[in-house]
Amino acid sequence: MQLHLFDTTGHDLRETVSVTAHRAAEGLEKVGIFALGTSEIELPPRETTVVANDCEMEREVRAFGVLPHMHYLGTTLELEVSTDGTEWETAYVLDSWNFDQQEIEARPLVLPEGVMTRVSCTYDNPTDDTVVFGESSTHEMCFLVLYEVGPQEISGCVSFGNAGGGGPACEPEGNEMGVGAPCTAGGGECAEGLSCTSDQPGEDSETGFCLRIGGCDVDADCGSGAVCCSPAAAGGLINICLPEECRPSDCEAPM
């Protein structure tokens, strides 16, 4: 459970959340969260804008439920899939988004390993201000959260922009898991399950280091000299492993 509340009253706030527990039946399966989306959001005033993020699935995801998430300016969220990156087929669409009626929808959805995915979010900005990504409801988000059977972890395919940036300049050495190893854009040098910072959307540098997106809860999951943290650009949805010396100031320890 996550609440990100912004106090504009100048006084302390108290929030009460109720949770109802049910006794589970036998034979339960482990489940996890796989998020798709982007933080690369910049909505010009008085315009309709579409933002999108393309990803290639590194493993199969078998989802049983979906949770689309935007804020007040969102109108439509769509997930498309492609086997060749040229012809796309709609796998899920919500064209009547209502921020005040957010629900997890029971929907079986299989994304095979190697398939290309594209999450598109459409916004209508009637204001005189440019709206960007952020946790406040006056900012925007673009995420499709999949609840999957199998891996008991939070992971995904989300463009963070500068996921490895925002902190001090660093030239790390790779640890025993490969986190921090040097890499180049499109070079494929990172170990299985790791990604190169230079391959992240919005990154201009041809060289970077290997990091792990998802699959960590504590620093020990990331190996020696590395930390597990949740970048603000991921909306608190995904944790990443990266060298401690390269940790951005807005990448906080998981709750």
Quote the CA–CA distance of 195 and 30 in Å, as a whole number.
25
Give 31-157's CATH code, choosing from 3.40.50.300, 2.60.120.230, 3.40.640.10, 3.40.50.10490: 2.60.120.230
Q: Looking at the whole model, is its pTM more than 0.85?
A: no
What end-to-end distance do the CA atoms of the chain give, in Å? Answer: 10
pLDDT in tens, 197-237: 887 755 667 888 999 888 788 999 999 999 999 887 666 67
Q: What is the pLDDT of residue 169?
A: 52
**100: Cβ contacts below 8 Å, ≥ 6 apart:** none
Query: Which parts of the chain have pLDDT scores under 50?
Result: 162-168
- Write down the pLDDT at residue 16: 84
pLDDT at 162: 42
Q: Are 185 and 199 in contact (CB under 8 A)?
A: yes
CA-CA-CA-CA torsion sign (101, 107, 113, 117): negative
**Tens-place pLDDT, residues 134-157:** 878 889 999 999 999 887 777 787
Residue 62, CA distances (Å) to 49, 146, 178, 219 in order: 30, 9, 28, 28
Contact call for residues 18 and 134 (beta carbons, < 8 A): no
- Name the segment(s) of the chain with CATH classification 2.60.120.230: 31-157
Which of 89, 72, 67, 69 minimizes the C-alpha distance to 80? 89
pLDDT computed for residue 4 by the predictor? 64
Rounded Cα distance, 233 and 240, in Å: 11
The residue type of 84 is D
